[in-house]
Amino acid sequence: MINPFRKDLESRSRPEACTVVIFGATGDLTHRKLIPALYNLQVEGALPAGVKIIGFARREKSDEEFRLGLEVVNKKVSRSGHDDSIWQDYAENIHYHKSEFQDASGYERLADRLDEIDRERGGNGNRLFYIASAPEYFDDILANIKNAGINRNKSGCWSRVIVEKPFGTNLPTAKHLNKVVSKTFRERDTYRIDHYLGKETAQNIMVLRFANAIFEPLWNNRCIEQIQITCSENLGMEGGRGGYYDSAGAMRDMVQNHLLQLLSLVAMEPPTDLSADGVRDEKVKVLRSLRQWDTPELVAENVVRAQYTAGHVDGENVVGYRDEDRVDPESMTESYVALRVLVDTWRWSGVPFYVRMGKQLPKKATEISIHFKEPPTVLFNALSGGVPGGNVLVMRIQPDEGISLRMVSKIPGSSLRMEPVKMDFHYATSFGKGSPEAYERLLLDSMAGDATLFARRDEVEEAWKFIDHIHHAWHESKAAPVMSEYVAGTWGPKEADDLLGKNGHKWRRL
């Protein structure tokens, strides 16, 4: 029987009650993101009634101890504050399950527990497994879920899995992970989470492009000169992050997933519909169309990698990358990367996409800027000085989410002088209500079976294919491109400026 009261109540797919099992439940992600996200959904009345949460981890804890630890963090980080009454109801549905990830008997006990919950809930056996553990446990967890039989869909119910990044560390490991996942869950039940896609402004890229008739006719190589995607961070390796980061680097940590996802949203063709596969089919075509930098020479020509040296960020002294805690003093891991990406499609032929990501840059910002071609060299361009810069459409992903458009305007006066002016839309100014956290949206989508904002297997593999060529040139070729340096607190190495300079372009000043 379908619930008739849901229809038209909300303009979104209907989330269904389920039991959420979080593997790695004592970790930071669970405490700071997942539990607060589910709590905020409860506060907004969006969490389906009957949702149960089971935290699966190795440490000895009682339900009460687990809930108390979650409550302490929730009080600090919850977007909507912390209401004791609502938390009390919410926490009653949170339980702790102690087991080693490799211990098969722990999963059998989990299966019994899930069955018990299903019985209490009157047979509703929907299950959502969230793998938030360290990646080295993914294989064991997935194999044990399968062996315990809890991956199987009960009649009329579903079992789904959410996999946190990294989805592998290269193409072979991604393929391996996908293979392991596919042995346990069907692709349609697999949700590879990329929290960037849950951000309001990332979702707005499609709205901006396809709900506004004025942009799409210009969205091609006839009108666009270049596109820049920037993710700058003003942090280094604080909080012991050096250990993980030194094994990953900017390319794997950010570019392979978040930034290539943004790029595919910007570059994709209009989907036939807004279904998960309708959108993802178009995104994966973009990734397939990336020109491969598959020789060390091409990598040297189109990719810049760098590490920061000691400098100042936000008025504070910071050490160089190789002097960071838990970083190898001889590390060859990049804390900065800049790429020239070419999308070999009819629409984007000849338009460079410049992608950069760096640590210890002057400020925190993620944005996409569309640089339109300058007007023809007649009329105003024929005047001394020409037109001061072309039109730039900027989509700010974070912080200060919004959209701006730079145009040229006449300066008041008797002479003909022009200056760029900016039309600026700020989400926070126009919409006083804060946006939901990305995890809220994504968790709700996974309960509703809507995978639009999750990465599909072929997307992940295509992205790794592109990245792997570069990594191979950096780490395995004899003629490896150099590792450049930049002073912490600056906008990156000179080589990154030269990368654009070759085409007469410049990085946008943020």
Q: Which residues bind other proteins (CB under 8 A)?
A: 1-9, 11, 14, 16-17, 42-45, 48-50, 85-86, 89-90, 119-124, 156, 426, 428-434
Q: Which is nearer to other proteins, 423 or 428 (CB)?
A: 428
CB 103 → other proteins: shortest distance, Å?
31
CB 122 → other proteins: shortest distance, Å?
4
CB 491 → other proteins: shortest distance, Å?
24
Q: Which is nearer to other proteins, 25 or 43 (CB)?
A: 43
469 catalytic residue (yes or no): no
Task: Please answer whether residues 12 and 6 qualify as being in contact, where contact means their C-beta atoms are separated by less than 8 angstroms.
Answer: no
Q: Which is nearer to other proteins, 402 or 489 (CB)?
A: 402
Phi-psi region for residue 391, left (φ > 0), alpha (ψ -120 to 50) or beta?
beta
Catalytic residue among 258, 371, 469, 471: 258
Q: Is 466 helix (H, G, I), strand (E, B) or coil?
A: helix
Q: Which is nearer to other proteins, 93 or 360 (CB)?
A: 93
Task: Please answer whether residues 200 and 220 qualify as being in contact, where contact means their C-beta atoms are separated by less than 8 angstroms.
Answer: no
Task: Please answer whether residues 160 and 181 qualify as being in contact, where contact means their C-beta atoms are separated by less than 8 angstroms.
Answer: no
Q: Which is nearer to other proteins, 102 or 435 (CB)?
A: 435
Q: How many angstroms separate the CA atoms of 284 and 107, rounded? A: 35
CB 472 → other proteins: shortest distance, Å?
44
Q: Which is nearer to other proteins, 8 or 273 (CB)?
A: 8
| Residue 126 in tokens | 């929907």
Within 10 angstroms of residue 419's Cβ, the number of other Cβ atoms is: 10
Q: Is the bond leading into 399 cis (omega within 30 degrees of zero)?
A: yes
Chain position carrying tokens 């930071």: 28
Residue type present at position 292: Q
Q: Which is nearer to other proteins, 14 or 109 (CB)?
A: 14
CB 13 → other proteins: shortest distance, Å?
13
Within 10 angstroms of residue 149's Cβ, the number of other Cβ atoms is: 11
Q: Which is nearer to other proteins, 91 or 500 (CB)?
A: 91
Residue type present at position 380: F
Strand residues in 218-302 grouped as ranges (E): 224-232
Q: Which residues contact 347 (CB under 8 A, 6 or more apart)?
A: 219, 220, 221, 267, 269
CB 8 → other proteins: shortest distance, Å?
4
CB 429 → other proteins: shortest distance, Å?
5
CB 238 → other proteins: shortest distance, Å?
23
CB 276 → other proteins: shortest distance, Å?
21
Task: Please answer whether residues 393 and 218 qualify as being in contact, where contact means their C-beta atoms are separated by less than 8 angstroms.
Answer: no
Within 10 angstroms of residue 333's Cβ, the number of other Cβ atoms is: 23
Q: Is 384 helix (H, G, I), strand (E, B) or coil?
A: coil
Q: How many angstroms separate the CA atoms of 89 and 267, rounded? A: 45
Q: Which is nearer to other proteins, 105 or 429 (CB)?
A: 429
Task: Please answer whether residues 31 and 70 qualify as being in contact, where contact means their C-beta atoms are separated by less than 8 angstroms.
Answer: yes
Question: Could you give the angle at the alpha carbon of 442 between the alpha carbons of 149 and 55, nearest 5°?
Answer: 45
Q: Is the bond leading into 166 cis (omega within 30 degrees of zero)?
A: yes
Task: Please answer whether residues 167 and 177 qualify as being in contact, where contact means their C-beta atoms are separated by less than 8 angstroms.
Answer: yes
Q: Which is nearer to other proteins, 17 or 480 (CB)?
A: 17
| Residue 177 in tokens | 């992970």
Q: How far is CA 306 from CA 70, 151, 310, in A?
A: 39, 43, 13
Please state the separation of Cα 42 from the chain's center in Å: 24
Alpha carbon dihedral 314, 316, 317, 323, in 10-degree steps, equals -80
Chain position carrying tokens 């070999």: 344
| Residue 254 in tokens | 């950010």
DSSP label at residue 411: P
CB 115 → other proteins: shortest distance, Å?
14
Q: Which residues are catalytic?
A: 258
